[in-house]
Chains A and B, each alone.
Chain A
């Protein structure tokens, strides 16, 4: 199970949607998907690649404005 899903299971404030990028090309273009997995948080910030749990949680919460640690490899959602 992806870390995003596990975070959604653990917190009632978090939701996770896994999008099949090739099936939704317009949505993928809108969020600047050039490589996968690309994780987009609150439709703003994003990062590419699979991260270990601590880094993934930190990156997501940082992009959501709910943590102090900087995301690794982060960028704008359309970036």
Chain B
């Protein structure tokens, strides 16, 4: 069942048809079955089902361009333990862009934008910013704490 309205899904289809160029890989890390149960921290996942429906809606808006993989982390041992986590990247490459928690509200718009930018490679940073980034020699992790807004 969709989480987005019919109108929004139609807008997404039109927007992706116009803007997407290359393939995009969405990967959703989730813990199925925990539903909306209130469980001790680290066990439950009250937003996993909504995140899955959102990811499915995004992929369905451009099935020829956007692939969705859903990964169950219940068994442990994987790189991602916090759920839901959604990554956006190029198929076959390690994704460097992710959301932890349900990307609702304003954050949903940033997911849509990320899909479009990954598809086209259009980061649109200024030449000055790119020059600064060229000086980076070691991995940099940027964590941005946000609210749905």
Contacts and interface: CB of A to CB of B under 8 A. Distances in A.
A60 B123 CA distance: 17
Contact of B142 (A12, A16, A31, A54): A16
B7 interface: no
A42 B143 CA distance: 8
A67 B132 contact: yes
A-B residue pairs, 5 tightest by C-beta:
A20-B101, A1-B113, A23-B101, A15-B96, A8-B96
Q: Which of B124, B137, B143 has the most CB of A within 10 A?
A: B143
A5 B128 contact: no
A62 to B, nearest CB: 10
Interface stretch (B12-20, B28-36, B102-110): B102-110
A18 B132 contact: no
A19 B143 contact: yes
A22 B102 CA distance: 10
B142 A14 contact: yes
Given A53-B126, A54-B128, A64 B140 contact: yes
Contacts of A23: 47, 100-102
A77 B105 CA distance: 26
